[in-house]
Amino acid sequence: MYQNNAMNVYRLAASTSLTDREADAECFRRLIAVLESVVHGRDVVQRNQAIATHQRLWSLIQRANAVETGVVETEDRLLFARMADQAQRYGIRAMLDPDLSLVPLIETARNVLEGLEQAGDD
């Protein structure tokens, strides 16, 4: 009996699990929400926490594309690495200057999200 319940739960989870692209898109949706929640606020601690989340996501993307696995074309890997570098540089500047707008970080994340969603429709 227990084994059947566990198997049913597993099947349900497997049928509703996200693809890699869907998971990436969800990460960017959440990042956008976090950044938007602090974009007009004056709380520097919350702002810096949001930027730190941004930095961690782009760091993961950079790390994932630093190693040749044969899954992603070299040209795309270089593009992702360059985008990550630029996003992180701006993020550092935004941490150091509380008056620097977070809108470029949000726009970059939206552009990536749109690309992920469009590619998922193919």
Report the candidate in 26, 53, 13 with the shortest Cα–Cα distance to residue 112: 26
Q: Which domains does the chain have, with CATH numbers?
A: 19-121 (1.20.120)
Q: Which amino acid, residue 86? A: Q
Per-residue pLDDT at 105 exceeds 50: yes
Residues 6 or more apart whose Cβ sits within 8 Å of residue 61: 80, 83, 84
pLDDT in tens, 89-103: 999 999 999 999 999
CA distance 58 to 64: 10
Neighbours of 81 (CB within 10 A): 16
pTM of the complete model beyond 0.85: no
pLDDT band at 1 (very low <50, low <70, confident <90, very high): very low
22/35 Cα distance (integer angstroms): 20
